[in-house]
Structure 1
Amino acid sequence: MGQLLNVVRAAGSKTTVRILIALVAGLVVGALLAGQPYIERLIAIADPIGGMWLDALRMTIVPLVFSLLVVGVSSAAGTVAAGGTAARALAMFAVLLIASATFGALVVGGVLSLWPAPSAAVAGLREAAGHSTTKLPEFPGVAAWLRAFIPTNPLQAAVETNMVPLVVFALLFGLAVTRIRDELRNVLVGVFQGVMDTMLVLVQWVLYVAPIGVFALALIVGAKAGVGAAGALGHYILILSGVCISVGLLCYLLALLAGVSLGAFARAVAPAQVVAFSTQSSIASLPAMVAGARQLGASETSIGMVLPLAVSLFRITSPAANIGVAVYSAHVYGVPLNPALVIVAIGVAAVISLASVGLPGQITFFTTTGPLCLVLGAPLELLPILLAVETIPDIFRTVGNVTADLAVTCLSGRTAGDEP
């Protein structure tokens, strides 16, 4: 698994550049050819190409998410069973991830109500994807809603990409795996690990041809929305980057809870933030975080256990940003946000962000945002376009994650009663 991820990460930056170039080229070509007599024929060719590529991504979501959750829950349950500092750190991570998802849903929804995306660009994006305004079915009531959490037929839930009961079943299945005999558990987890690795290979293949699919989708957007589509994408980048920056700034409050002054924490975390900004890698920032933690007087127990655990498992900006993407997609397609479904999406965002750590950015984007769009009832057609501009928000995601990693390291030592 580690070797596979290294290979995918090595190609990740090149893939991002290629996708971004394809997006810009598609928008420009589509805008330049808009109004030409043959543009409809070009759209008729581009539409199935982009649709096939998007369907290829869709086919990996259910098996990848399910296997990720089973393997991730089994591993996390083993860590909790070990008890002590690691278990307390995981509990802290869970609370903060839920808080992050809640923050993202409230902020993005609130900002969009006050500052909606440009209407002309939104209409073009929606028309280019072939979707009219979508309305969610009427909410069935609390009793029926609660019963829907338990899938009477998990296979049917998978076939229908009904993510909420599927995630519940995956969580319960992963927990149950930890209660069987060791030899059987190792075999079963190994099977799902193999499924996960296989899906990663499939996604890597799909992403390899992503420039073709993104160019086709962007050409349709450019032809129908013109250069105004760039305004919608800029609007999206500002909102999502702002959410990630806000989450990172709120992490300074965790340092205050740990008894660290804001000035001291800012000086200690700054070198790690610089590395994170330039490399978009939390792991690359680890040496600077270790130095910062020692500068703040964190205990060696926290530095040696909590900090590596945070870098490996804890991505505080992910739930906020991922649910922000889903809310933005719902906004573009005119999907009304049902408060009950938003609550469910918050829980799913926290769980999936914890289970999908360590995956390359392009894969993580679809793995974590796709299920949330399905929960909220938002179409997935916008995700390839948003992936192409994800590079900018991803910078602030990483900076926020690094800030949170150092803050929870200091806080965990205080909650455990460790002396500096």
Structure 2
Amino acid sequence: MSNHNLLSSTVKALQPRSLKYLSTSLQGLIRGKLWLQVLVGMFLGIVVGILMGPSLGWVSPADAAAISDWLALPGKLFLALIQMIVIPLVFASIIRGLAATEDLEQLKKTGFRVVLYFIFTTAIAIVIGITIANLIKPGQYIDQQALQLASLVEPIQSTEASGSPVLDELPQKIVTLLPSNPLSAMVESNMLEVVIFAMIMGVALVMMTPLQAKPLLDLMGSLQEVCMTVVRWAMLLAPIAVFGLILQLTAKLGIDALLGMAVYVLTVLLGLLLLLALYLLIILIVAKRHPLTFLNDIKEVLLLAFSTSSSAAVMPLSIKVAEEKLGVRPSISQFVIPLGATINMNGTALYQGVAAMFLAQVFGIDIGLGGMVLIVITAVGASIGSPATPGVGIVILAMVLDSVGIPAAGIALIMGVDRILDMCRTAINVSGDLVTAKLMDSWVGSSLSHHEEQLAEQQREQIRQRTGEDVLTNQVLKEET
């Protein structure tokens, strides 16, 4: 197939530049061993936090609180920067990913299968979390007096009728998924509404004429550039951020409280390892790829995801790895990865299951099989609609606990160890996105092979560099070829 025919067959209307071309700065963070700097910051934060904490008593509680607040400031700035850019980055990436799809029929098939797969695997992840928490029972290892749980316990309301209002409100909840005010959805960080709005916008742009759609796609491209610039700034704070946040929580809780949470931490990590093993089994059976080869191919993305605690921040590198190392077609990766970074939170969902059962055990609440089913339903919905930012798991957990009558104040018990767990579950979330991209590449057919799509993508990038255009149209391609 000639260059001209190949390009014309892959461009039906518009071709925006792939997000993977913004991954250069992220690869620099990998070469600079950001993950190692983060681990060192975490270790130093624990050590200094113990020295300042109530266990040793070297610093008065008032002084320790004041000092740790200042030392945690870079961490709070880091979280604020990442949270600030996630919604515009995901919004722009989904729109441009949809606009890059050359075939509407393929888009329909891919979108339907991806959403079903995300819901199914999220539910499986929560069930794994609930199961291992019931087997290990980490809540039984907590010294309630040492952690002063009595001050946290609140009156527990009955949840016997909790299923009825959910069914009664279901029609209205379905209607509210379509945002009546998209700006309000963005301000309130309602990610599910933002994703639906972005998908509607993307499909509408595909059906418009190139001249009408190009200005908005150019704007979305500039928005992506701005967001990734802010991510680069935030990454400069990452090691100091982890140091300050870990120090603050360790100084507040003390070493005894943290040691008491060791079984809970190990339970969550075991669940995440089981989920990763499930991913590797899927890759082996469906994609016929050796698990160790797959892990070696994606290790850079996992290390960066671990360092940033944000699957959205590593999207450019995820797309690059999916296309260049896993052999995923660009039309699949540019749609699945941005969507997965927003609604595929399997690691976070597993954590919800473990944490909910852990706190139920700590407070002596028997939620029963019905409560466990309600946890699965609530956590699936909450995980799908959550922003891909650090610490969002705690926000989701509050919703899950409320659904089964577990005191949300119990979240204070797990805050001290959430930093390390947040980084680990983000790495699992990103690995899940890459597995999904590889599976969809195998399941969804296309008129072009991976090699042909990659070759066309390279040729389009050369044209962009010559013309200075971000979004290419058929007219530009004809002039250049």
Question: Structure 1 169/417 Cα, relative in aligned 2: closer, same or farther at 3 Å?
Answer: closer
Question: Structure 1 209/125 Cα, relative in aligned 2: closer, same or farther at 3 Å?
Answer: farther
Matched, 1:242 2:274: yes
Q: Look up the match of 1:349.
A: 383
Q: Look up the match of 1:147.
A: 172
TM-score by length of 1: 0.66
Aligned residue identity for 2:419: L
Q: Look up the match of 2:454.
A: none
Aligned residue identity for 2:377: I
Q: Look up the match of 2:65.
A: 44
> Which segment drifts farther, 140-149 or 319-328?
140-149
Question: Structure 1 15/177 Cα, relative in aligned 2: closer, same or farther at 3 Å?
Answer: farther
Question: Structure 1 308/393 Cα, relative in aligned 2: closer, same or farther at 3 Å?
Answer: same
- Distance in 2 separating the partners of 1:284 and 1:417: 20
Which runs of structure 2 are paired with 1:111-126 in the superposition (5 Å)? 111-121=132-142
Contact 2:68–2:244 (8 Å) recurs in 1: no
Aligned residue identity for 1:320: N
Which runs of structure 2 are paired with 1:331-346 in the superposition (5 Å)? 331=357, 334=360, 342-343=376-377, 345-346=379-380
Aligned residue identity for 1:21: F
Deviations 1:186-231 (A, max 9, x none): 3652575366346535643653431122112123233451533333
Q: Look up the match of 2:245.
A: 213
Deviations 1:231-280 (A, max 9, x none): 3322322222222222332444535xxxxxxxxx36x5543334445884
Which runs of structure 2 are paired with 1:298-377 in the superposition (5 Å)? 304-305=329-330, 319-331=345-357, 334=360, 342-343=376-377, 345-347=379-381, 349-350=383-384, 366=390, 369=393, 372-373=396-397, 375-376=399-400
> RMSD across aligned C-alpha pairs, in angstroms?
4.9
- Distance in 1 separating the partners of 2:321 and 2:196: 34
Question: Structure 1 172/249 Cα, relative in aligned 2: closer, same or farther at 3 Å?
Answer: closer
- Distance in 2 separating the partners of 1:332 and 1:49: 32
Name the larger-Rg structure. Answer: 2
| Count of residue pairs the alignment pairs up | 379
Question: Structure 1 89/144 Cα, relative in aligned 2: closer, same or farther at 3 Å?
Answer: closer
- Distance in 1 separating the partners of 2:36 and 2:448: 46
Contact 1:326–1:373 (8 Å) recurs in 2: yes
Question: Structure 1 204/289 Cα, relative in aligned 2: closer, same or farther at 3 Å?
Answer: closer
Q: Look up the match of 1:228.
A: 260
Q: Look up the match of 1:78.
A: 99
Quote the sequence identity (%).
Answer: 11
- Distance in 1 separating the partners of 2:146 and 2:268: 13
Contact 2:276–2:428 (8 Å) recurs in 1: yes
Aligned residue identity for 1:366: P
- Distance in 2 separating the partners of 1:375 and 1:199: 30
Q: Look up the match of 1:259.
A: none
Q: Look up the match of 1:16.
A: 38
Question: Structure 1 224/236 Cα, relative in aligned 2: closer, same or farther at 3 Å?
Answer: same
Aligned residue identity for 1:185: L
The alignment partner of 1:18 has SS state of helix
The alignment partner of 1:102 has SS state of helix
Contact 1:120–1:225 (8 Å) recurs in 2: no
- Distance in 1 separating the partners of 2:185 and 2:148: 29
Contact 1:252–1:407 (8 Å) recurs in 2: no
Aligned residue identity for 2:349: I
- Distance in 1 separating the partners of 2:157 and 2:283: 35
The alignment partner of 2:138 has SS state of coil
Aligned residue identity for 2:238: L
The alignment partner of 1:227 has SS state of helix
The alignment partner of 1:366 has SS state of coil
Alignment counterpart, residue 419 of structure 2, candidates 387, 399, 402: 387
- Distance in 2 separating the partners of 1:107 and 1:393: 14
Contact 1:108–1:239 (8 Å) recurs in 2: yes
- Distance in 2 separating the partners of 1:158 and 1:401: 23
TM-score by length of 2: 0.59
- Distance in 1 separating the partners of 2:71 and 2:138: 24
- Displacement of 1:321: 0.7
Contact 2:72–2:244 (8 Å) recurs in 1: no
Aligned residue identity for 2:350: G
Unaligned runs of 5+ in 2: 1-21, 206-211, 304-317, 402-407, 450-481
Question: Structure 1 304/239 Cα, relative in aligned 2: closer, same or farther at 3 Å?
Answer: closer
Unaligned runs of 5+ in 1: 256-264, 291-302, 357-363
Contact 1:330–1:373 (8 Å) recurs in 2: yes
Q: Look up the match of 1:359.
A: none
